[in-house]
Amino acid sequence: MTEQFSANLGIAEEMRCTDDPVLGWEWVRDELDAGRPVLCWAEMAELPYLRVKMRMSRHDIVVIGYDDDAGTVVVVDNDRAESQTIGRDDLARARSAVGFPMPTRHTCFRLGFPDALPDLRMAVARACAEAVHGMSDPVPSMGPTAAVGAAGVAAFVADLDLWAEQFPGAALDRALFSLQVFVEKAGTGGGLFRRLQADFLADVGGWLGDPVVLEAAQVYRRLAETWSQTAAAAVGPAPAVDRLLAAVRRIAAALPALELDGVRKLAAVGQRPGPDCSVAAATVELWRADLVVDGVRRVGVLSQCGPCRVLGHPGELDGDEVA
Indicate the pairing of strand 38-42 with strand 108-112: antiparallel
Region of 229 on the Ramachandran plot (φ > 0 left; ψ -120 to 50 alpha; else beta):
alpha
Alpha-carbon distance 179 to 238, whole Å?
16
Q: Which of 168, 186, 163 is nearest to 234 (CA)?
A: 163
How much is the pTM? 0.73
Q: What is the pLDDT, as a whole number, of residue 141? A: 61
Alpha-carbon distance 131 to 271, whole Å?
13
Q: What is the pLDDT of residues 221-266, one digit of tens each?
A: 999 999 999 999 999 999 999 999 889 999 999 999 999 999 999 9
- In angstroms and rounded to an integer, the radius of gyration of the C-alpha atoms of the chain is 21
Q: Which of 193, 205, 61 is nearest to 134 (CA)?
A: 193
pLDDT band at 313 (very low <50, low <70, confident <90, very high): very low
Q: What percent of the chain has pLDDT over 70?
A: 81
238, amino acid identity: A
Residue 299 pLDDT exceeds 90: no
- H-only helix segments in 95-234: 120-136, 149-159, 163-166, 170-184, 194-208, 211-233
Of residues 99 and 173, more confidently modeled: 173
Q: What is the mean pLDDT of residues 168-181?
A: 92
Q: What is the mean pLDDT of residues 200-228?
A: 96
pLDDT band at 87 (very low <50, low <70, confident <90, very high): very high
Alpha-carbon distance 142 to 133, whole Å?
17
Q: What is the pLDDT, as a whole number, of residue 274? A: 54
Residue 323 pLDDT exceeds 60: no
Of residues 71 and 297, more confidently modeled: 71
With beta carbons less than 8 A apart as the criterion, state whether 4 and 130 touch.
yes
Q: What is the pLDDT, as a whole number, of residue 56? A: 83
pLDDT band at 186 (very low <50, low <70, confident <90, very high): confident
Count CB atoms within 10 A of the CB of residue 169. 8
Alpha-carbon distance 125 to 267, whole Å?
9
Residue 307 pLDDT exceeds 90: no
Q: What is the pLDDT, as a whole number, of residue 148? A: 83
Of residues 261 and 3, more confidently modeled: 261
Alpha-carbon distance 224 to 197, whole Å?
9
C-alpha angle with apex 188: 185 to 190, nearest 5 degrees?
70
Q: Which of 311, 309, 287 is nearest to 300 (CA)?
A: 287
Count CB atoms within 10 A of the CB of residue 11. 18
Alpha-carbon distance 59 to 43, whole Å?
6
Residue 33 pLDDT exceeds 90: yes
Alpha-carbon distance 58 to 90, whole Å?
16
- Cα 70 to the chain's mean position, in Å? 31
Alpha-carbon distance 101 to 157, whole Å?
24
Residue 278 pLDDT exceeds 80: no
Q: What is the pLDDT, as a whole number, of residue 295? A: 44
Q: What is the pLDDT of residues 36-72, one digit of tens each?
A: 999 999 999 999 998 777 788 889 999 999 999 999 9
Residue 94 pLDDT exceeds 80: yes
Lowest mean pLDDT segment, chosen from 88-102, 131-145, 179-193? 131-145
Kindly report whether the peptide bond that precedes residue 273 is cis, defined as omega within 30 degrees of 0: no
Domain layout of the chain by residue ranges: 2-112, 140-270
Architecture of domain 2-112: Alpha-Beta Complex (3.90)
Q: What is the mean pLDDT of residues 16-38?
A: 96
DSSP letters spanning 176-190? HHHHHHHHHSTTSTT
Run of H or E including 240: helix 240-243
